[in-house]
């Protein structure tokens, strides 16, 4: 799928954060940002190989706030869709130093939300993340 600006709107498997080791490091050493009920934890590190993507993302919803799996899965679907639409606009790494970034998005609300609300929050969060990464404050 391609957007009007010609950039890809896909979320391929190599951009999904699946490594348990990286997720553990993310929660231990990662930095946090939040926008309303949406939280972001990110962690940057040196890439192991040249084929690694710049960013890998994962999404989570609290089972305590949404005991029904149907509700959790719907919110995660909305989060992935909002991420897909905003990632191309928001991530423009500056400099030639390759870096890997692991990102976890957490929905901390206790009510379901709309796509427009989720998309707006993702736009703000991803812009702030891009500013943090460009400033170099998050180098590990």
pLDDT higher for 59 or 95? Answer: 59
pLDDT of residue 46: 74
Pairing of strands 55-61, 38-45: unpaired
Q: Does position 95 have pLDDT exceeding 90, yes or no?
A: no
CA 54 – CA 42 distance, rounded (Å): 12
Q: Please report the pLDDT score of residue 131 as a whole number.
A: 87
Correct CATH for 13-135 of 3.40.50.1000, 3.30.230.10, 3.40.50.150, 3.40.50.300:
3.30.230.10
Residue 32 to residue 41: CA distance in whole angstroms:
4
Half-sphere exposure of 67 (CA within 13 A, CB side): 0
Mean pLDDT of the chain: 84
Do 82 and 118 touch, CB atoms closer than 8 A? yes
Contacts (Cβ under 8 Å, ≥6 apart) of 104: 17, 23, 26, 27, 30, 40, 41, 42, 57, 58, 59, 60
Is residue 44 pLDDT above 60, yes or no?
Answer: yes
Quick check: helix, strand or coil at residue 43? Answer: strand
User: Where residue 104 falls among pLDDT bands split at 50, 70, 90?
Assistant: very high
Q: Once rounded to an integer, what is the mean pLDDT over residues 7-34?
A: 89
Annotated domain spans of the chain: 13-135
Rounded to whole angstroms, how far apart are CA atoms 113 and 78?
A: 9
pTM attached to this predicted model: 0.83
Question: Residue 53: is its pLDDT beyond 60?
Answer: no
Structure confidence at residue 11 (pLDDT): 85
Is the per-residue pLDDT at 93 higher than 90? Answer: no
Q: Is the dihedral of CA 80, 125, 54, 32 positive or negative?
A: negative
Residue 1 has pLDDT above 70, yes or no: no
Q: Using CA atoms, how far apart are residues 127 and 18, in angstroms rounded to an integer?
A: 24
């Amino acid at each position: 799928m391609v957007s009007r600006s010609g950039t890809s709107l896909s979320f391929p498997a190599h951009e999904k954060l699946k490594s348990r080791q990286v997720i553990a490091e993310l929660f231990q050493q990662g930095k946090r940002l939040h926008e309303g009920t949406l939280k972001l934890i990110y962690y940057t590190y040196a890439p192991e190989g040249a084929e690694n993507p710049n960013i890998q993302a994962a999404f989570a919803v609290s089972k305590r706030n949404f005991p029904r799996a149907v509700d959790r899965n719907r919110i995660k679907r909305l989060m992935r869709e909002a991420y897909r639409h905003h990632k191309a606009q928001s991530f423009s790494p500056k400099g030639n130093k390759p870096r890997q970034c692991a990102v976890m998005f957490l929905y901390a609300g206790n009510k379901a939300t709309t796509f427009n609300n989720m998309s707006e929050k993702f736009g703000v969060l991803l812009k702030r993340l891009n500013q943090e990464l460009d400033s170099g404050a998050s180098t590990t």
